């Protein structure tokens, strides 16, 4: 038999839980946007000192995100943005005025409310973005993940509505060869196509965000001169000139070839917060970047060897050929 005291304790705890949850639901339902949100302006308000906010206007790396590209017209950009956000559960358009859009997104659990804003900048040919939670959420990277989902939907719609440009041709001697694909021309393939193209280990790391075992991947101790490119799309990512021995068992670099060749986002898996690095062109997972690298950047791009292919430089190839003569 359960004692009367135990019953009262249980009822008290249950009542406190119900009141607490009910209070959070009521607080979220009655919440209003922070000051400055929902008002057309130039530029967007910076992120406040809170974890659940990301913005293209933020000077803080933890809160910064990449802007979106512009469609062929401002009106078309508005249409694609509205369509991309409306596909998300719980989204509601609050205001569209001139070059500014404001949406609310309510989650089904405890009715958390987020504000998502877009500001179209025709002069810079891009779209600024800001996404922030109002109340009641811990720092789980929710807003950054949502913005990346909006980006994926928006860029997919942008590609289907934009007529592809005619392939440019570079003439070398008597042979006409097409240019290298633009690094900003996003490459998408079906899961089946990636599986057919990649080995099981390459697919696991690059497309499923896996990690190879240390000291087992290719090129972790490679000291030859050359370029490390994406295993999925061939985009050049890192040079041997910035590669160094980190003692980790993975290929490590202190800087990419170009900042525009890679993208980063917050990774909160395994109960830790890290910064994931992926290929900008095909979104292949490459590894993570840490702030314990050498000068001049102080960064350590810790990459998976199977996510990259090494291409020796012409000088290194010529030197090897001369040695064999």
Q: How far apart (Å, rounded) are the C-alpha atoms in residues 253 and 301?
A: 5
Q: How many helices (H) and strands (E) does the chain have?
A: 6, 17
Distances in whole angstroms, Cα of residue 228 to Cα of each of 35, 242, 283: 47, 11, 16
Neighbours of 137 (CB within 10 A): 19
* Catalytic, out of 232, 233, 282, 302: 302
C-alpha distances (whole Å) from 10 to each of 6, 18, 21, 24 are 6, 12, 16, 21
Q: Give the number of other Cβ atoms within 10 Å of residue 269's Cβ.
A: 10
143: nearest Cα among 54, 43, 25: 54
To the query of whether residue 233 is one of the catalytic residues in this protein, the response is no
277 in Cβ contact with 288 (< 8 Å):
yes
Beta-bridge partner residues of 263: 278
Radius of gyration of the chain (CA): 24
Nearest to 54 by CA among 41, 68, 40, 42: 68
Q: What angle do CA 82, 65, 236 make, to 5 degrees?
A: 110
Task: Work out the angle between the directed axes of helices 142-161 and 74-86 (0-180°, nearest 10).
Answer: 130
Q: Quick one: which H or E segment has residue 16?
A: helix 4-30
- Residues found in the chain: 325
Residue whose C-alpha is closest to residue 293's, from 251, 235, 239: 251
Angle at 259 between CA 258 and CA 260, to 5 degrees: 90
The Cα–Cα gap between 197 and 204 comes to 12
Which residues are part of the catalytic machinery?
A: 302
């Amino acid at each position: 038999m359960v004692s009367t005291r135990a019953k009262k304790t249980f009822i008290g705890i249950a009542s406190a839980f119900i009141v607490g949850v009910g209070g959070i639901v009521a607080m979220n339902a009655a919440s209003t946007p922070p000051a400055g949100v929902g008002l057309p302006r130039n530029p967007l308000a910076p992120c406040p000192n809170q974890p659940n906010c990301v913005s293209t206007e933020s000077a803080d790396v933890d809160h910064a995100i990449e802007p979106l590209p512009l469609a062929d017209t401002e009106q078309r950009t508005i249409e694609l943005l509205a369509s991309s956000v409306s596909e998300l559960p719980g989204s509601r358009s609050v205001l569209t005025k001139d070059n500014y859009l404001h949406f609310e997104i309510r989650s089904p659990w405890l009715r958390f409310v987020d504000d998502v804003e877009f500001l179209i900048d025709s002069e810079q040919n891009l779209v600024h973005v800001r996404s922030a939670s109002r109340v009641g959420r811990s720092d789980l990277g929710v807003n950054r993940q949502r913005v990346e989902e909006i980006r994926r939907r928006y860029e997919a719609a942008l590609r289907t509505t934009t007529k592809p440009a005619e392939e440019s041709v570079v003439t070398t001697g008597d042979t006409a060869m097409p240019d290298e694909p633009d690094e900003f021309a996003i490459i998408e393939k079906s899961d089946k196509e990636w599986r057919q193209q990649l080995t099981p280990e390459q697919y696991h790391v690059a497309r499923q965000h896996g990690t190879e075992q240390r000291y087992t991947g290719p090129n972790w101790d490679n000291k030859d001169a050359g370029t490390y490119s994406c295993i999925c799309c061939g985009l050049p990512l890192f040079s041997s000139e910035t590669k160094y021995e980190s003692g980790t068992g993975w290929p490590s670099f202190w800087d990419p070839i170009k900042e525009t060749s890679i993208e980063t986002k917050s990774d909160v898996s395994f109960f830790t917060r890290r910064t994931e690095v992926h290929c900008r062109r095909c979104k292949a997972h490459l590894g993570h970047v840490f702030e314990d690298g050498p000068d001049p950047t102080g960064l350590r791009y810790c990459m998976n060897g199977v996510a990259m292919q090494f291409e020796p430089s012409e000088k290194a190839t010529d030197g090897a050929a001369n040695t064999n003569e």
